[in-house]
Chains A and B, each alone.
Chain A
Amino acid sequence: MAVSTRTVALIAITAAAVGAGTWAAVRYLNRPQDRSAARGPAAVPAGAPAEGARRIKATLYYVSADGLRLASSERDVLFAESASAQARRIIEALLEPAPEGLSSAIPPGTALRGLFLGEHGDAYVDFSGGLRTNHPGGSASELLTVYAIVSALTVNLPAITSVQILIDGHEVDTLAGHVDLRRPLPNAPQWTEKGTT
């Protein structure tokens, strides 16, 4: 179900920290953009009129070969002006098929319903029920799914320090019976393979 953009706007306007977060995020995300300017088609001059074509480099996380940790991979992600829109683009990129040689930690049939930023660096990411109903279970799989999402946002957007996963607009206990999702989770680097970033 589509999320009302006016609701998003209404809630976003009342969240006082979003403005500062946006500024920090855009500054941060412009760095790789500038760095990659000489490298090729992903580079678009700053101020280019077609925003949709402008991209940033984001570090996304996939299941490592041993199936026990997350491996990182740099992906081009569409640039967005606000932190919440950029966060949404990053999660949308995470939901796309994994790069060759890696597999996704997110079950197929998962869609992003909405994403909101709270005032203390919390992000609330609302997924469709597929994230839970299509999940194969097992604590390793569940930890990889949860931290692929948490890492994607906290590593790429310094304004976001913790992430709460919602399902169909509801707060949930767990995805598959293990990881406590009742409050925003900070990133936990131990789930990421060392040396892959």
Chain B
Amino acid sequence: MLTMGFAAAVPVRVDAQTPRAAAPYTVLSAEGRRTVAAATVGDQEMLRLDELAALLQVTVREDRAAKALTVSRGTSVVVLSLDQGLASMGGKIVSLSAPPTRDGSRWLVPPDAVSRALAPIAGVRADVRKASRLIVLGDLRVPRITVQQEPGGPPTRIAIEIIPRAAYTIVQEPRRLLVKFDADGLDIGPISVGGGLVEAVTAADPLTLAIALDKDFGTFRASTVPVDAASSRLVIDLTAAGAPLPVPTGLARAQVPPPAAAPVARTEAPVALPAAQPPPGVRTIVIDPGHGGDEQGTKGSTGVLEKDLVLDVARRLRTVLDSRLGVRVILTRDDDRLVPQDERASIANNNKADLFISLHVNSSPSRNASGAEVFYLSLDGLSNEARKMAENPETKPVPVLGGGSRDIDLILWDMAQARHLGESAAFAVLVEEELRRRVEMSPNPIQQAPFRVLVAANMPAVLVEMAFLSNPQQESALTSDEFKNRVVQALVDAIVRYRGRVEGQASGRLP
């Protein structure tokens, strides 16, 4: 029996659309470094079109009657709709994250208009990196650099992610190390250091990072880990004067015993996976409690919220995995806050997780729907490039770094899960089997869907819907300790079985 459709409409909140000034974007091109003014309209960031037009040498004309902006250079023309986030170019329509907005006498356009509409007609490549407020025009090599100090020590360990890979040289000076990159510019992301033997990490010049050292610093050892075809990680271990030189564990080593006060030239070798790489296993697991903060997820008839239930189960799961399996467990959120979808996968990728498990609670327009479901990514969730790779596992990933007019992150991240679909399916089967022993399953217990959070995970990844909060009996069950613990036990047992499978494959046994 069909009992309900969607609830009655609620009023739609309308954001103030007045542009507010925001920090400018930096534009790097062969001509040098410039800035473009930015503004925020509602929650959308926008850039000054007149400044972009001057940089790209394009002409802008407003067609008021047609409610459109025509941007041209020579015979190339793109038409930006003023009503919709759409542009038309040579018979092709591309979507933009927002339509142009007027700020006084000037026009503002979303950052993706640069890579998708303006740069193509100007005949140049553009990488728009929103997180860094950076636009790279042309074929410049501008790696994204993030710096993190790993907890613990000694030694004090600094990990520098370099995407795409770039060669570098380390020079030791009194009280500081200089890491100079062979690139046209640096896109410096978050730097999270402090404590141990490091005082600070800063940009010394446009191509050099300076690591300021504590007075107790004695020596260092650097090693490079190729992360994948496109990126690498430089790990620098610092030890105090008089302490033994650290021996890095589990990392590739291209050894550099650095004589003090002498430049140490190091050029990164083409990727050769290190012999010292650890054998396959399940050492790190990332658990992703869905939603959070303002995004509540779904809601039960008694007011129970999905975001609270999944966080509770994630914490229970972490406790059991920590104590019984001895694996490293990381939660994408450990409190009530909204984590962006890409950040959830990035936490797993940056921590080199071996499994990614996203926890959710389901809802249907019908109160009858019930049972748990396990999802892994469908091919519909992949870009065309990634789909080809998934359909033909022999194909090596070919990241289109700085290629075409697409944002650099988009293609790389869209590729990530494609390589792992087979293992994701295998893990989904184990999770379903263990859940079935303990809780009610839906008539569709294992499914594939184009789920956003799974796309960028660079490891086997599943999304588990534990039960339907829209079903009153299931809502009641979901709030009980017994039900949550059953789900936790099912996941733990599935992980143990999966670990056995991975280790069995590594040692040549059948899974």
| Contact, CB under 8 Å: A164 / B452 | no
| Contact, CB under 8 Å: A128 / B298 | no
Which of B341, B373, B375 is the most central at the interface, judged by chain A CB atoms within 10 Å of its CB?
A: B341
With an 8 A cutoff between CB atoms, is B465 at the interface? yes
What residues of chain A lie closer than 8 Å to B444, measured between beta carbons? 68
What residues of chain A lie closer than 8 Å to B291, measured between beta carbons? 177
Q: How far is the CA of A144 from the CA of B438 in the complex (A)?
A: 27
Q: Across the two chains, which residue of chain A brings its CB closest to B410?
A: A182
| Contact, CB under 8 Å: B363 / A144 | no
With an 8 A cutoff between CB atoms, is A35 at the interface? no
With an 8 A cutoff between CB atoms, is A166 at the interface? yes
Interface residues of A in 127-150 (CB under 8 A from B): 128-130, 133-141, 143-144
| Contact, CB under 8 Å: B5 / A63 | yes
| Contact, CB under 8 Å: B83 / A178 | no
With an 8 A cutoff between CB atoms, is B57 at the interface? no
Q: How far is the CA of A7 from the CA of B81 in the complex (A)?
A: 6
| Contact, CB under 8 Å: A109 / B449 | no
What residues of chain B lie closer than 8 Å to A7, measured between beta carbons? 66-68, 81-84
What residues of chain B lie closer than 8 Å to A107, measured between beta carbons? 6, 9
Q: Across the two chains, which residue of chain B brings its CB closest to A164?
A: B95
- Binary A-proximity of B24-46 (CB < 8 A = 1, otherwise 0): 00000000000000000000100
| Contact, CB under 8 Å: A170 / B97 | yes
Interface residues of B in 380-431 (CB under 8 A from A): 380-381, 383
Q: How far is the CA of A18 from the CA of B226 in the complex (A)?
A: 47
Q: Across the two chains, which residue of chain A brings its CB closest to B112?
A: A171
With an 8 A cutoff between CB atoms, is A3 at the interface? yes
Q: How far is the CA of A65 from the CA of B470 in the complex (A)?
A: 14
Rounded to whole Å, the gap between the CB of B201 and the closest CB of chain A is 32
What residues of chain B lie closer than 8 Å to A6, measured between beta carbons? 65-68
Interface residues of B in 40-93 (CB under 8 A from A): 44, 63, 65-68, 79, 81-86, 88-93
| Contact, CB under 8 Å: B364 / A171 | no
The range of chain B's interface size is 35 or more
Q: Across the two chains, which residue of chain B brings its CB closest to A69?
A: B444
Which of A15, A108, A138, A170 is the most central at the interface, judged by chain B CB atoms within 10 Å of its CB?
A: A138
Q: Across the two chains, which residue of chain A brings its CB closest to B447?
A: A190
Contacts known (A11-B81, A67-B368); A137 close to B297, Cβ less than 8 A = yes
What residues of chain A lie closer than 8 Å to B452, measured between beta carbons? 173-174, 177-182
In this complex, how many residues of chain A approach chain B with their Cβ under 8 Å: the count is: 70
Rounded to whole Å, the gap between the CB of B73 and the closest CB of chain A is 16
Among B88, B299, B368, point to the contact of A15 (Cβ < 8 A): B88
With an 8 A cutoff between CB atoms, is B169 at the interface? no
- Binary A-proximity of B234-250 (CB < 8 A = 1, otherwise 0): 00000000000000000
Rounded to whole Å, the gap between the CB of B382 and the closest CB of chain A is 9
With an 8 A cutoff between CB atoms, is A85 at the interface? no
With an 8 A cutoff between CB atoms, is A17 at the interface? yes
| Contact, CB under 8 Å: A180 / B451 | yes
| Contact, CB under 8 Å: A140 / B468 | yes
Q: How far is the CA of A119 from the CA of B92 in the complex (A)?
A: 6
Contacts known (A7-B67, A14-B90, A138-B362); A126 close to B2, Cβ less than 8 A = no
Contacts known (A7-B82, A15-B92, A63-B365); A109 close to B66, Cβ less than 8 A = no
Stretch from A24-32, A44-52, A86-94, A96-104 that touches the partner: A96-104
Q: Across the two chains, which residue of chain A brings its CB closest to B455?
A: A180
| Contact, CB under 8 Å: A126 / B84 | yes
Rounded to whole Å, the gap between the CB of B102 and the closest CB of chain A is 15
Contacts A14-B79, A66-B366, A181-B452 aside, 12 further interface pairs with beta carbons under 8 A come to A7-B81, A10-B88, A67-B368, A103-B4, A103-B365, A109-B12, A114-B84, A124-B84, A169-B81, A170-B44, A171-B85, A178-B449
**21 A–B pairs (Cβ distance < 8 Å), ordered by A:** A1-B83, A6-B66, A7-B68, A10-B63, A10-B66, A10-B79, A64-B366, A68-B369, A107-B6, A116-B86, A133-B10, A134-B9, A134-B12, A141-B364, A143-B449, A169-B84, A171-B97, A178-B453, A179-B451, A180-B451, A181-B452
What is the interface of chain B, defined by CB distance below 8 A to chain A? 1-2, 4-10, 12-13, 44, 63, 65-68, 79, 81-86, 88-93, 95-99, 290-291, 295-299, 306, 341, 360-369, 373, 375, 378, 380-381, 383, 442-444, 447-453, 455, 463, 465, 468-470
